[in-house]
Chain A
Amino acid sequence: MLGMLIGTATIVTLFSITTAMESELKDHFDKVGTRILITEGQEKLSLSYRGITVAEDIGEGPNLFSDEKLTALSQLLSYETVATVSPKLVSSGVTDEGISVLSIGINFADEVNVKGYWQVSGGLPVQENQVLLGRHLADNLEVDVGDSFIIFDEKFNVAGILDELGSQEDYLLYLYLEKLQSLTDNESLLSMVELVFPGNKGIEAADSLIDELSKIDTTLAGTRVQDAAEGRRVLVEHFAKISFMVTIVIIVIGSLIMGTTMMSSVKERTWEIGIFRAYGFRKKHIMSVIFYEAGILSAVSGAGGYLLGMLLAVFAAPVIADIQTSIVWNPLVGLWVLVLTVLVGVLASLYPAVRAANLDPVKALNYL
């Protein structure tokens, strides 16, 4: 019984941790979605933006494409599932103090949907002569919210500063897309478009759109943004597969333990079975007795294993899997564990039960 209990507890712990990890990821993807970047001639670019190369040398000859190409994009089947389209132009400007600044032209209303994690001190730009700065860039330029500075030979007011993100965004300047297009003589031209697919199923839709895009006659190419959550998703998938395999092994071992235990029990109680047979118990009655006993043992093991497994998951999950969300005590899972352990216990007792039912009553009575 202890073996079954420990086995059940292990399965429940693995299941709970996997479920919590999947739930956490789902929440993340529900909140952030899946993103892809659409770029032109990607292989020629060298600017790394969020892990994707977008321009080879922005100062001399950026690979830009006309925003009219978005029309072709919008005709793709998978485009219907896109929640947000955020076109961008990347360029570099020099301040009046000679500091080179990587600048990105965006539509702020769209971008905030893409960058749900942005925390802004001050506010987002609402006028074309306002900018949003990364934390480190603001420090380099020695400006704060409300200050002004000159770049692209024009005076800009700092509407807001992003809280430090620990990424390349800390060094970027954001301004209105149309303003940057105008300042750099790149009217209607874009460096990239960022698309957001909502929810946990966004990955399939994003991959589908990338596939569709590769098949139509366009120079645009799409790449899925590989953020930390994406890596974690792969990890969770592997963890789930390993957990499944461990579960199978535990069920097999648990069945063998249960079968051996019941065989041993049948042998020890041979004379009892002889008594039962002498008093008119049919074979089915003998099997019922064995199944009943196995069922009770399994149910106790299942209930104990569920409780122990959940306790282990609650305390172990934050350590093992770095899970921030709390482990959910789901009574339905408990019920399933109970049903499955009883089922495994009863099935594992099938052979001992048949053996018991077929014992010769006279030999069984003389077993003592």
Chain B
Amino acid sequence: MGKKDLIEVQNLTKIYASGSEQVNALNGLNLTIENGEFVALMGPSGSGKSTLLTILGALNPPTQGQVLIDDIDIYKLPTERRADFRSTYMGFVFQQFHLIPYLTAVENVMLPLAIGAKSSKEQTEKAKTLLEKVGLGNKFNRLPNQLSGGEQERVAIARALVNDPPIVFADEPTGALDAKTSLEIMELFQKVNEESYTIIMVTHNKENLDFVKRAVFIKDGEIEKEDSYERAGLS
């Protein structure tokens, strides 16, 4: 894919009702993300970065504003069509990995394919290929509790990629990992990004900025500043 705007956010506002009070999580935020970018959303707790991630992920309708992905206004889609859109366009990696505890690594990776048209054999092959890609070629049949934190994160990344989505969302992917494993995971994300996946990652960890192409700093529901980085890329 060439460089073009993949995601365009216009005047995004999200207000949560908390009892009789209203909390403005996002205040008229505007943001554009190009195809193939690796963007870090940074900011203090409560700044609105996770809310932005869920809104970009078509999971959380905004109070106001538009989110265009590939020129499609995703919140104008009916709820179930939006689910289809997520299936096609998006992969998710969560901080707590969120692997299904009673499914093996390969079954967890196959999960997003369960509602697709691929045969069971095709699903298994695809999942195994991805597990090999993230370095778990010898742990297909391990249950999540038989894997280390870093390995579980790798399974979660493989699951996010299994539908070949153009966008991968990651919410604090290294938040539950030690420094060494975090580094390995970020290298993996960088590798994935270089394969033309667009990655949008919420993180607190400034060391992760060594791997991203752009950082968007959010404060009080607004963009405080943006930094772009030139990366040499992995050899």
Contact = CB atoms under 8 A, between A and B. Distances in A.
Contacts of A280: 83-88, 90, 112, 115, 163
Contact of A278 (B59, B84, B96, B115): B59
Interface residues of B, number: 24
Contacts of A365: 59, 94, 98
Given A271-B98, A283-B80, A278 B86 contact: yes
A368 interface: yes
Nearest to B59: A361
A361 B53 CA distance: 13
A290 to B, nearest CB: 14
- Secondary structure class of chain A's binding surface, majority of residues: helix
A115 interface: no
Contacts of B115: 280-282, 285
Interface string A52-91: 0000000000000000000000000000000000000000
Contact of A368 (B54, B96, B100): B96
A283 B84 CA distance: 11
B57 interface: yes
B59 A279 contact: no
Contacts, number: 55
Interface string A271-300: 110111111111101000000000000000
B92 A278 contact: yes
Interface size, A (range)? 10 to 19
Contacts of A275: 94, 98, 100, 111
- Secondary structure class of chain B's binding surface, majority of residues: helix
A285 B80 CA distance: 11
A280 B59 CA distance: 10
B141 interface: no
A278 B115 CA distance: 13
Interface in A198-222: none
Contact of B84 (A271, A272, A274, A282): A282
B20 to A, nearest CB: 20
Interface in B28-81: 54, 57, 59-60, 79-80
Interface in B83-109: 83-88, 90, 92, 94, 96, 98, 100
B52 to A, nearest CB: 12
Interface in A330-353: none
A50 to B, nearest CB: 69
Contacts of B54: 362
Contacts of B96: 368
Interface of A: 271-272, 274-283, 285, 361-362, 365, 368
Interface of B: 54, 57, 59-60, 79-80, 83-88, 90, 92, 94, 96, 98, 100, 111-112, 114-115, 159, 163
16 contacts: A278-B59, A279-B86, A279-B87, A279-B92, A279-B163, A280-B83, A280-B115, A281-B83, A281-B87, A281-B114, A282-B80, A282-B83, A283-B83, A362-B59, A365-B94, A368-B96
